[in-house]
Amino acid sequence: MLLDKLQTNTTTIGKALCVDGKKLWRWYRDTLSGFNTDQAQEKHYKYDIKLREKGGISTIRVPILKMENIGEDMAIDEKQIGEEMHTVISNRKTGKIAVLARTIKASELSHLISFFEGIGFKVKSITRDLSNSYDWFCRQAFPNAGHTADKFHIISHLLDASQDVRVRYRQELLRERRLLYEAHKQKEKEKLIEAKKTGKDYKIQPYKYKEKTLANGDTPLELLARSRFLLFKYQNDWTVSQAERARILFDKYPEIQKAYLLSCAFRIWYRKENVGNDLDYMGGELDDWFAEVEKADVEEMSNFKSLVERNKAIILSYFRHGYTNAIAENINSKISRFIMINQGTRDREFFYFRMSNYFS
């Protein structure tokens, strides 16, 4: 059916056919899709995993498990569907989902390993985030696969660390303002009590916070808030106003400049043009960057450095072939669009059924 193969909703098709969209949706779900047939229902719940617990039996939903979609190059990522986190294993070459499981826990993912016996050896590379659960699962399910840390996640952690320095200074200013306000309230309260003792009237004075205005017209708080986007960009990409704001920001907060320059240096090291370079050489360049971080002594960047050091081998693996989780991120985007088209995931099981038809 058209609805099985296209990311479209029944409202759009209903308008074209002059049929009520909600009625067409019910027809499709209850009759046309075949979802309610015994064969479809058996297949739909076939790979669910039953776990015995103290409170009874719990079920790990595995709505998609198609071994034919396992290939040499795979990706694993997490995706929130509704209120639950799911593990998505996809083929980087075909873009098809091999596994969709409603769990991200290592103890529960372990029950999926038996499905990969034999065929798991086929996988030569796997891209993933830095999750310990995915590290353990992939080593068990795909023993021959080389692991590559997903560049998107690493850069995301880097930019968060850079922004955290800016946020720290902003929170310090907000804390200073709060303490001054609390001191003002206490002082006015004492004046009111003293006035009552002497029988005088006293009107509590409103709090007024005097802020300095910087050269570009921003207050310090505004400067920190408005500098968010310029810290994501390279210096050559700044607009004229961003360049002026950056100059004032870095003059006033040198630590933010240190974090920004370290962030840019790491991104340049991690660029696509370096794919194919000798890994020992790239490792040496990374060690030099580590030394610069230690010299800068910015806590947030030191935390990121520690993360990179712990995962150095799989981060350097990127420079072998340039593998990323781009396909997995694209699938996540398509799933988000699929959720929107389906008007949410209230009918979760039928949503899974449609996902299986479309994505696998």
pLDDT, tens only, 345-354: 667 888 788 7
pLDDT, tens only, 40-60: 788 888 888 888 777 677 888
Half-sphere exposure (CA, 13 Å, Cβ side) for 314? 25
Query: Any idea how long the chain is?
Result: 360
- The CA-CA-CA angle for residues 116, 134, 286, to 5°, reads 130
pLDDT of residue 80: 87
pLDDT, tens only, 2-15: 555 555 666 666 66
Annotated domain spans of the chain:
2-33, 43-150+324-359, 153-177+219-321
Query: Using CA atoms, how far apart are residues 86 and 30, in angstroms rounded to an integer?
Result: 26
CATH number for the domain formed by residue range(s) 43-150+324-359: 3.30.420.10
SS3 (DSSP) at 6: coil
- Looking at per-residue pLDDT, the higher value among 115 and 301 belongs to 301
pLDDT, tens only, 108-118: 888 888 888 88
Q: Which residue, 223, 224, 308, is CA-closest to 262?
A: 308
Q: Beta strand pairing status for 84-91 and 49-53?
A: unpaired
Query: Using CA atoms, how far apart are residues 215 and 44, in angstroms rounded to an integer?
Result: 64
CB atoms within 10 A of CB 25: 20
pLDDT of residue 345: 62
CB 66 within 8 A of CB 360: yes
- Looking at per-residue pLDDT, the higher value among 32 and 264 belongs to 264
Give the residue carrying structure tokens 């090291």: 269
113-132: average pLDDT: 89
Going by C-beta distance under 8 Å and a sequence separation of 6 or more, which residues neighbour residue 347? 29
DSSP letter string, 233-281: S-GGG--HHHHHHHHHHHHH-HHHHHHHHHHHHHHHHTSGGGTTS-HHH
255-264: average pLDDT: 97
pLDDT of residue 48: 85
187: left (phi over 0), alpha (psi -120 to 50) or beta: alpha
Please state the pTM of the whole predicted model: 0.84
Query: Using CA atoms, how far apart are residues 229 and 226, in angstroms rounded to an integer?
Result: 7
Q: Lowest-confidence range among 77-86, 150-159, 247-256, 315-324?
A: 77-86
Query: Using CA atoms, how far apart are residues 322 and 27, in angstroms rounded to an integer?
Result: 46
pLDDT of residue 289: 97
323-339: average pLDDT: 81
Give 216-222 contacts, CB < 8 A, sequence gap 24+.
216/241, 216/244, 216/245, 216/248, 218/245, 218/248, 220/173, 220/252, 221/170, 221/173, 221/174
